[in-house]
Amino acid sequence: MTNPSVLSVASAVPPHRVSQDEAKEFANALFSETHRDLGRLMPLFDNVAVEGRNFCVPYEWFERDHTFPERNALYVEHALDLSEKAARRALDKAGAAPENVGALFFVSTTGISTPSVDSYLLPRLGLSEHARRVPVWGLGCSAGAGGLALATDRARLYPDKLVLLVAVELSGLTFQRNDLSKANLVSTALFADGAAAVVVGEGDGPELLGASTVTWRGTENVMGWEVVETGLKVQLSKSVPNVVRERVRDDLARAAADLGLDLADLRHFVLHPGGAKVLDAFEEVLGLSHGALVHPRSVLREHGNMSSATVLFILERFLESGEYVPGDLGVLSAMGPGFSAEHVFFAC
């Protein structure tokens, strides 16, 4: 049984651009009446190392209250449009005919739809009505890596058909104006909207060697949603960098060994940037120089944290850079609610 490859990766962002200075000004006005120590907290807008982000709604939308149904209707509309753009670009880059796609994996955690958004994508993209649909909800930031792992398994079992993975997150639509917590302030500084798509199958591209997942016990409260009347309210702990320092290296070493690989042989790290401090922690535990994670840092700087789609943006940028030689080993990793980590190993 041969290993499938990444045949293409493509991304898409919505049209409304917000600079970090604009976001900082907005947050300062919103939180100033309730946070006496706001002056101490505001530097986080600079420390997260984000310069700007894109959203599916204009800046003014965030200045008003919105109901959950209103938010979710916008999610379905814009998730579908953005997913279609990313998917079409990925299929075009791979030179893939829609009828050759045997399965569509769709990952997202920032809205709800039944039927799921992937069902609307089938006719839009011209995919077969018999294509296997696999919607995945709830993995959050780790879903891009987890979805790629699932797509790899499918492509390995059915090598005669391509697999299309689509990740879309509209984190901006979850913003809660009346949530004056520090977690919401961090989210205002960090999260954004975006979509990415990957075509997996037999052909030229990085070979997908295998994957691993772990869900650490006692960490369920690190990240997630609280469902409130107005939608999805962010739950976010400051302990994520500590989780990286305490657990990730050992887990990566174990996962590599399970595939007959040595962690020391990995040359490329396509890592989800939960934030600048998370990337600092990754560089520390992996023995990399500060700033070595160039592509994760550049995507974070230009696009913010787009949850599941972010690591696929980084994969796209890595592949376009050409900064590798045949045979180089690497890993694509992301962490998310659970608290979990997903790793996908590849050979260039």
| Domain 207-347 annotated CATH 3.40.47.10 | yes
Report pLDDT for 36.
59
Band (pLDDT 50/70/90 cuts) for residue 37 is low
Task: State whether residue 145 is helix, strand or coil.
Answer: helix
pLDDT at 312: 98
pLDDT at 186: 81
Write the CB contacts of 56 (distance below 8 Å, at least 6 apart in sequence): 14, 16, 74, 78, 82, 170, 172, 173, 193
Position 205 confidence tier, pLDDT thresholds 50, 70, 90:
very high
Q: Please compute the mean of the pLDDT values over residues 72-80 and round it to a whole number.
A: 97
The domains spanning 5-201 and 207-347 adopt the same CATH topology: yes
Query: Is 56 a known active-site residue?
Result: no
Single out the catalytic residue among 94, 141, 208, 278: 141
pLDDT of residue 9: 98
- 111/34: higher pLDDT: 111
- Which of the four pLDDT bands, split at 50, 70 and 90, describes residue 58? very high
Domain ranges of the chain: 5-201, 207-347
Contact 168, 195 (CB under 8 A): yes
Say whether pLDDT at 177 is over 90.
no
Q: What is the mean pLDDT of residues 2-25?
A: 94
Dihedral sign, Cα of residue 134, residue 317, residue 272, residue 330: positive
Quote the mean pLDDT of the chain: 91
Of 292, 293, 273, residue with least CA distance to 336: 273
User: Taking 70 as the threshold, does the pLDDT of residue 56 lie above it?
Assistant: yes
Rounded CA-CA distance 172/188 in Å is 8
pLDDT band at 39 (very low <50, low <70, confident <90, very high): low
Output phi, psi for 134, to 5 deg: -130, 90
In tens, the pLDDT along 273-285 reads: 888 888 998 999 9
Helices (H) and strands (E) in the chain, counts: 12, 13
Dist. CA 251–CA 255, nearest whole Å: 6
Q: Is it the case that residue 66 has pLDDT exceeding 70?
A: yes
Could you confirm whether domain 5-201 is CATH 3.30.1600.10?
no
